[in-house]
Amino acid sequence: LSELAIAMQTMRHELDGKQHVQDSIQHLTHELKSPITAIQGALELISPNMPVADQAHFLAQIKAQSTRVQTIIQNMLGLAALEHQQQLQQVVNVNLNDLIQTQIAHLSEKAHALQASIHAACRASLQIRADGFLLGQAIYNLLENALDFSPPNSTIHVNVTEEKSQIKITIQDQGAGIPDYALDKIFDKFYSLPRPDFASNAGQKSTGLGLNFVQEVVKLHGGSVTLLNNVNGGVLATVTLPI
């Protein structure tokens, strides 16, 4: 009986894994359908006899959608690799203030285009044991997400607090907040909300993999992450990491 129970448990795990793969493939196919259809449409419409301006318009569409396909595939592969990691591969002492400032610098051009600013408060010498690349990418994703939903001339506040056994990183924006219907789906793979009307990519959705990636990275670091509507407006993202 014990051997049968073990065999049934093993089978259940295998089926769960297969269902996970099947679900991921279905999601990936769905996400790739839209940009590929757009590329096909542009290729059918473009002609050497049309005005140069029209050709440039369709070529720009093809380039943008090709980039989206590449981004979806790269993010999916990166997330798949991350999900199979049982533990962090490269853990070193990381200066958290430097890490955050680096991500802010990477987003400076995007923030400038939105006339938005990012202010961070973190002790200059604060160190944490982490995979600097993965944690940096997770913070980048949260900051970029905050920028995507921040109105022009707004400020994103990053604050780092230290407690006895943990560090909290909060990122607060001044956007419209998360709709109630989306609160329990926000970390789901491929789930994304349309960008607001004032955004340069208004109405468009992201790959829906960025926040899921954040969640996986934080879990690998033994921490937790939440995105909640702030009582004073906007969204408050909180990453809690053990010291």
- Residue spans of the domains in the chain: they are 2-83, 92-242
Find how far residue 149's CA is from the centre of its chain.
Answer: 13
Tokens 């999916």 label which residue? 76
Q: Which long-range contacts (CB under 8 A, 24 or more apart) does 104-107 make?
A: 104/143, 104/158, 106/140, 107/140, 107/143, 107/144, 107/147
C-beta atoms surrounding 191 within 10 Å: 16
Distances (CA, A) of 58 to 36, 53, 103, 193, 204: 14, 9, 33, 26, 18
How far apart are the C-alpha atoms of 73 and 100, rounded to whole Å? 26
Tokens 């604060």 label which residue? 126
* 200 burial level (CB within 10 Å; 0-12, 13-18, 19+): exposed
Query: What local confidence, expressed as pLDDT, does residue 4 receive?
Result: 47
Looking at the DSSP bridge assignments, the partners of residue 130 are 92
CATH class label, 92-242 = alpha beta
3-state secondary structure of 18: helix
Residues 136-195 pLDDT 10s: 989 999 999 999 888 889 999 999 999 889 999 999 999 989 999 999 999 988 788 877
Query: What local confidence, expressed as pLDDT, does residue 213 receive?
Result: 87
Model confidence pTM above 0.85: no
Query: What local confidence, expressed as pLDDT, does residue 28 receive?
Result: 62
Query: Same topology for domains 2-83 and 92-242, yes or no?
Result: no
For 203, the token pair is: 């109405």
Closest residue by Cα to residue 34 from 147, 203, 183? 203
In this prediction, the residues of the chain whose per-residue pLDDT falls under 50 are 1, 4, 8, 11, 14-15
Beta-carbon contacts of 207 under 8 Å, excluding residues fewer than 6 positions away, are 31, 68, 71, 72, 75, 76, 190, 192
CATH fold of the domain at 2-83: Helix Hairpins (1.10.287)
